[in-house]
Structures are given as C-alpha cells and as structure tokens.
Amino acid sequence: MGLRDLLSKPGQMLGDMAQVANLESVVQWGQSYSLWPYPFATACCGIEYMGTACSDNDIARFGAERPSFSPRQADMILVLGTLTYKMAPVLREVYEQLSEPKYVVSVGACASSGGMFDTYGVLQGIDRILPVDVYVPGCPPRPEAILDAIMKLQEKVKTQGLESRRQEVMRKIQELNERNKPLVVQ
C-alpha cells in the first residue's frame, strides 16, 4: 500500500491519529491558495488589475499577490484588455508556455467579447483561441469583480481533480479548433 492509498480514506485511524482529509484534497486546497497570476495586459483593464493588486484590496488573502512575468512560474493567466488579431498568436504562445495545470481568466468586456471594439482588427473574445475558465464582466471591472473571479477559480481548483481538468481543457480546445476551421467555399 502506497502513501497515496494510505491517505485516501478520510475517517480512518492511523495509530492514535484520525485522518480528516485525503491527500488529493489537501494538495488541491494548497494549490487553490497559491494561484500565481500572469497579467497579460493590453489595455485599460491592466490598470484595473494594478488597482486590484494594491494594498487596499489585500489580494494576498487569496495567495494570488505574486504576479509572475514568466509564464513558466504562473498558474493562471489574466487577460486584461483588448486583443487584436496581431496579438492573438502571442497570447496563445504565452498560454502554451504556462505550466500545467493552468487556468485562464478573461477580465473585462474587451477580453471576453471584444467589448465596444466590433472592428475587423479586434478578436471578439479570447475564448476563440483559449479555454477560458472564468469571465469577469464590466468595463472596467471593479477590483471586487476580479477578486470574485479568483475565488470562483479557487472553488474550481479545490473540487476538480487533475483528470477531469485535463478532459475539460481538451474538450474546450477541440471545440474552439472546430470553430476556427477556415470556411471553404466550393
């Protein structure tokens, strides 16, 4: 019997100690309180994020106060602002470089839907290229809305196992690849 098996049955006695949680839930709990963000800021929502990261809002309560500017040391990417078609491949590449398991938060109307910029040069929502986990409404979103998104993501991390996470990402990427297939006119 390995350590994983031994620690997978809450309620059992281990000598004179009672096991109150299984290993996976403890790991997920720890992970949910150390979600380091990669702020991908392209417009004014980036300034809103800076306000959110200021001391008034105490984002450290959620263990998300440490922005990483290397995707290799980040757990979630916050997309903050308008995304042009020119920048879309850059965002996708940064996403690919994040370490697994990785999460995507779409912050504000522009990132989520193109916002007011319904033009030929602006991507109408980052979910056309990335598997988004949480959408934050608003233009600009208030700091409370960004903190609420982090809390929603924490709930997801605490309850979703690695395998179901992998399946969700694969399904979303398959869907968006399907949607992005070029239209062939015959």
Could you list the residues that contact ligand SF4 (CB under 6 A)? 43-45, 81-82, 108-110, 115, 139-140
Minimum gap (Å) between residue 68 Cβ and ligand SF4: 21
Please give the structure tokens belonging to residue 155: 């709930």
Looking at the Cβ atoms of 131 and 140, the one nearer to ligand SF4 is 140
- Whether residue 39 contacts residue 9, with contact meaning beta carbons closer than 8 Å, is answered with no
Alpha-carbon separation of residue 150 from 56, 66, 76, 185 (angstroms): 16, 13, 10, 43
Using DSSP's 3-state secondary structure scheme, residue 47 falls into helix
Residue 6 or 47 having the CB closest to ligand SF4: 47
Comparing CB distances to ligand SF4, the nearer of 63 and 137 is: 137
CB of 17 to ligand SF4, least distance (A): 51
Nearer to ligand SF4, 103 or 135 (CB): 135
CB closer to ligand SF4, 98 vs 109: 109
Instruction: Give dist(CA 106, CA 91) in Å, integer.
Output: 12
Minimum gap (Å) between residue 180 Cβ and ligand SF4: 23
The CB density around residue 157, as the number of other CB atoms within 10 Å, is: 22
Min dist. Cβ of residue 70 to ligand SF4 (A)? 24
Closest approach of Cβ 135 to ligand SF4, in Å?
Answer: 12
What tokens does 119 get?
């033009």
Distance CA 95, CA 77 (A): 7
